């Protein structure tokens, strides 16, 4: 009997070990960031379309100056990706872009290496863009009438120096009265949370809006209610917003006239291109990134199940034969890990099956292991 028990244990360990190695093999290595760091705007075809002359007016992008989360001692700032992508979307579509922050000067950035791609490194190597960022305009010196739109970048720092900021309030109210376009993503809508119009009503009253949700916040920071002055979703609802919640960590955009907001970093492209449309222009064609394809795949899964997601994956596999761009398997794996942490076993294994299919197609097409 003991031999049988020991044999069963050994077999179980072997199976689990083999399964773990197989699962690990589905996740590709991280990109070569040393090579990516050499990227310039001229290396990105989309950025080569940026007009030499800006003729469509100016857009103001606002980032946080807060470097710490209140009195916790934890470092924070604005999300670099949420600055870069909108900056280049507006620029590629003919708008001049200025960067401002509550304090002015060089604001504190949060850069996650896993999120850094060709656009982010191109920005770091873009002398004109970096000059604007290092010398961001203090908000109290911004003249609202100079701008057709304003965009509030997310990042946890926004929770500390955007709400209640009088300069932000004046900018938003003026743009609102001038029929300007107001956009924000992730924690960026914190800028709009407590704005009161001259009439005394809340700017958000009855307006559709999206932002980083309570579920997303509390999953990452269980003690978020103690860390932040408030939970963003809760405060937006309290001030009259019709909050539109998308799936966890997936693209969600709310459009309410000239107010355009997104739920999280993966909404940045969609929000800013919707702003371009709201300003009366059709956005310049842009290659869909691996990240966006992966988010679309996951959204198909959440909405219609594994079969629908498999169909979307097949479409991307066929496209990869032409454009060489597959999905981001590391991002897909991350969502699988989140599912496992939440006890969603079926979802976890469905994502593993999609990972296996994506790896198989990448190998057969000779694509990079991304």
* Domain range summary for the chain, segments of one domain joined by +: 36-278, 287-370
Please count the CA atoms within 13 angstroms of the CA of 149 that sit on its side-chain side.
31
What is the pLDDT at residue 52?
72
Task: Taking residues 85-98, report their average pLDDT.
Answer: 96
- Strands 259-262 vs 253-256: parallel, antiparallel or unpaired: antiparallel
Contacts of 9 (CB under 8 A, 6+ apart): none
What is the pLDDT at residue 14?
39
Task: Taking residues 26-38, report their average pLDDT.
Answer: 81
Task: Say yes or no to pLDDT of 296 above 80.
Answer: yes
Determine the Cα–Cα distance for residues 68 and 53; give it in Å rounded to an integer.
38
Other beta carbons within 10 angstroms of residue 57's beta carbon come to 14
Nearest Cα neighbor of 298 from 274, 329, 263 is 329
Triad 199, 200, 201: Cα angle to 5°:
95
pTM summary value: 0.90
Contacts of 181 (CB under 8 A, 6+ apart): 148, 149, 150, 175, 258, 260, 275, 278, 279
Helix (H, G, I), strand (E, B) or coil at 56: coil
What is the pLDDT at residue 128?
95
Least confident span in 18-32, 41-55, 83-97, 164-178? 18-32
Would you say 300 and 312 are in contact if contact means Cβ atoms under 8 Å apart? yes
Query: Chain-wide mean pLDDT for the chain?
Result: 88
How would residue 23 be classed by pLDDT, with cut points 50, 70 and 90?
low
Q: What percent of the chain has pLDDT over 90?
A: 69
Determine the Cα–Cα distance for residues 109 and 105; give it in Å rounded to an integer.
12
Reported in sequence order, the residue ranges of the chain that DSSP labels E, i.e. its strands, are: 58-62, 78-79, 96-101, 109-110, 137-138, 149-152, 181-185, 208-209, 242-243, 253-256, 259-262
Give, in order, the Cα–Cα distances in Å from 294 to each of 82, 168, 301, 351.
Answer: 18, 35, 11, 11
What is the pLDDT at residue 359?
81
Determine the Cα–Cα distance for residues 182 and 156; give it in Å rounded to an integer.
20
What is the pLDDT at residue 5?
40
Determine the Cα–Cα distance for residues 119 and 86; give it in Å rounded to an integer.
11
- Per the model's pLDDT, the better-predicted residue between 351 and 319 turns out to be 351
- The CATH architecture of the domain made up of 36-278 is 3-Layer(aba) Sandwich (3.40)
Quote the tokens at residue 51. 């007009």
């Amino acid at each position: 009997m003991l031999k049988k028990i020991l044999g069963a244990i050994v077999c179980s360990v072997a199976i689990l070990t083999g399964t773990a190695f197989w699962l690990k093999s589905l996740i590709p290595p991280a990109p070569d960031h040393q090579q990516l760091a050499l990227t310039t705007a001229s290396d990105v075809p989309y950025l080569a379309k940026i007009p030499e002359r800006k003729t469509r007016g100016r857009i103001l992008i606002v980032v946080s100056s807060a470097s710490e989360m209140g009195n916790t001692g934890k470092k924070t700032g604005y999300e670099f990706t949420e600055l870069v992508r909108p900056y280049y979307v507006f620029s590629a579509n003919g708008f001049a872009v200025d960067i401002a922050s509550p304090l002015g000067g060089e604001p504190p950035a949060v850069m996650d290496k896993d999120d850094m791609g060709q656009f982010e490194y191109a920005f770091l190597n873009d002398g004109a863009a970096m000059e604007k960022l290092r010398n961001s305009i203090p908000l109290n010196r911004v003249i609202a009438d100079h701008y057709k739109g304003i965009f509030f970048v997310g990042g946890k720092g926004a929770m500390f120096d955007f709400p209640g900021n009088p300069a932000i309030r004046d900018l938003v109210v003026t743009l609102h009265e001038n029929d300007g376009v107001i956009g924000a993503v992730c924690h960026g809508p914190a800028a709009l949370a407590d704005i009161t119009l001259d009439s005394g009503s809340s700017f958000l009253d009855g307006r559709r809006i999206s932002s980083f949700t309570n579920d997303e916040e509390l999953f990452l920071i269980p003690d978020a209610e103690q860390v932040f002055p408030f939970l963003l979703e809760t405060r937006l609802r309290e001030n009259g917003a019709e909050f539109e919640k998308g799936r966890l960590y997936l693209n969600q955009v709310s459009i309410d006239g000239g107010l355009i907001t997104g739920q999280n970093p993966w909404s940045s492209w969609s929000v800013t291109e919707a702003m371009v449309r709201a300003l009366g222009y059709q956005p310049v064609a842009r290659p869909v990134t691996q990240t966006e394809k992966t988010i679309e795949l996951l959204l198909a899964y959440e909405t219609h199940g594994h079969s629908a997601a498999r169909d979307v994956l097949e479409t991307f596999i066929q496209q990869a034969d032409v454009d060489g761009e597959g999905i981001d398997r590391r991002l897909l794996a991350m969502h699988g890990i989140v599912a496992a942490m939440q006890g969603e076993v079926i979802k976890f294994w469905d994502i593993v099956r999609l990972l296996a299919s994506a790896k198989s197609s990448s190998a057969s097409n000779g694509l990079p292991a991304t």
